[in-house]
Amino acid sequence: MAKDQRKISNYLKVSGLSRSYYLHIFAGGVAFLGIIMLYVSRLLSEVQDVIQTLPDPQLTATVEDRILAVALMFFICFAGFMASTVFYMIVLGQRVGGPVVAICSYIQELKAGKYDVKRSLRKNDELQAIMEELQELADVLKKKV
């Protein structure tokens, strides 16, 4: 069980590279939300002005309820979009940022002369080819020393 908990905590660790991704995606989402909120509020105020001119109060209440339902659905969908974006940011950070941290650590070990140390990345990590090349370099350096 401790191993599973360690894996979950690793997803919450963020490298500097991942922070940059997170910041850009989050800033884009906030900018998008701000633009959409301005547009929706403008449209809703225009619709509200039209609704006020309706002669039937019951019809006015019905239209206002429908508009509120549409607005709530929009914001719920947007919240779902933001949640999926955060999930994607975490996965992206682990797929790219995690291997960068592991490769940098491996390079530090090579610089210290530890050529026998073998490191591996997860099978589907994006930077697997770089790690394999570094391991071949370690073998070459070990033969030369």
Residue 140 above 50 pLDDT?
yes
Flag whether 2 is in a domain: no
Flag whether 8 is in a domain: no
* pLDDT band at residue 98 under the 50/70/90 scheme: confident
Q: Note down the domain range covering 41.
A: 15-144
Q: Report helix, strand and coil shares of the chain as percent, to nearest 5.
A: 85, 0, 15
Mean pLDDT estimate for the chain:
79
In the chain, what percentage of residues exceed pLDDT 90? Answer: 0
Determine the Cα–Cα distance for residues 97 and 92; give it in Å rounded to an integer.
Answer: 7
* pLDDT band at residue 18 under the 50/70/90 scheme: low
In what helix (H) or strand (E) does residue 116 lie, and over which residues does it extend?
none
Instruction: Give the chain's domain count.
Output: 1
Q: What is the pLDDT of residues 45-75, one digit of tens each?
A: 888 888 888 888 888 888 888 888 888 888 8
Flag whether 5 is in a domain: no
Flag whether 7 is in a domain: no
Flag whether 4 is in a domain: no
Is residue 132 within 8 A of residue 103, CB to CB? The reply is: no
Flag whether 23 is in a domain: yes
